[in-house]
Amino acid sequence: MSLRRWFFDLRYLRGRAPWDTGVTPPEVVELIEGERIPPGRALDLGCGTGTNSVYLARHGWEVVGVDFSAVAIRRARRRARRAGVDVRFYRADVTDLSFLDGPFDLALDIGCLHSVSPDRWERYAEGLTRLVRPGGLYLLYVFAPRPNRPIPRGIAPEEVRDLFVPAFTVEREVVGRDPNGPTSAWYWLRREHLPADCL
């Protein structure tokens, strides 16, 4: 088991996972209930204990959740069973999504990418680009860079653009502060209709 996976599993086991709030962020609620986008297929990257996956499933979405923590995935499956919804959860690395088939209409990443090692960001972006349908939406929440903190490192706005454009267009960016202190940002990215040789 990698040190990072051990770190996350241990935090879950000890009840010291501040990111695991059990509350779906208002940005997601507004997207689903306020904008009333029609249900389709959704991919929840770094799904943790399944809070957002279950929320989407309750609103009619067909959901796949991926997380590398075995502890989180066990809890996510239990959460879905208790909620009476069907969500497919996989314990896997978000930088290797070769086992999944698209297309997905919506992808969520709420606090996962900023914990991925930068040398694996390209693989993450390639997997996402393959799986999200043209016109589909990718909702991303990340911390800004924090040089003194290796986990999570953070990701800057220009790094987000370098990583996902031109396969995605950044439709909106909102900078704020995480309840735990660090500067953070939400990004709404739309998958472009591009010929394969442009990707």
Count CB-CB contacts under 10 A for residue 90: 16
Q: How far apart are CA 122 and CA 124, in angstroms?
A: 5
Rounded distance, CA 199 to CA 164, Å?
Answer: 10
Positions in the chain whose pLDDT score sits under 70? 1-21, 147-152, 178-181, 194-199
CB 115 within 8 A of CB 184: no
DSSP state of 75: H
Report which DSSP code applies to 28. H
pLDDT at 22: 74
- pLDDT on residue 32: 96
Q: Determine the pLDDT at residue 36.
A: 84
Rounded distance between C-alpha atoms, residue 5 and residue 61, angstroms: 28
Give the domains, in start order, of the chain with CATH numbers: 3-10+39-198 (3.40.50.150)
Closest by CA to 46, choosing from 127, 133, 134, is 127
pLDDT value at position 55?
97
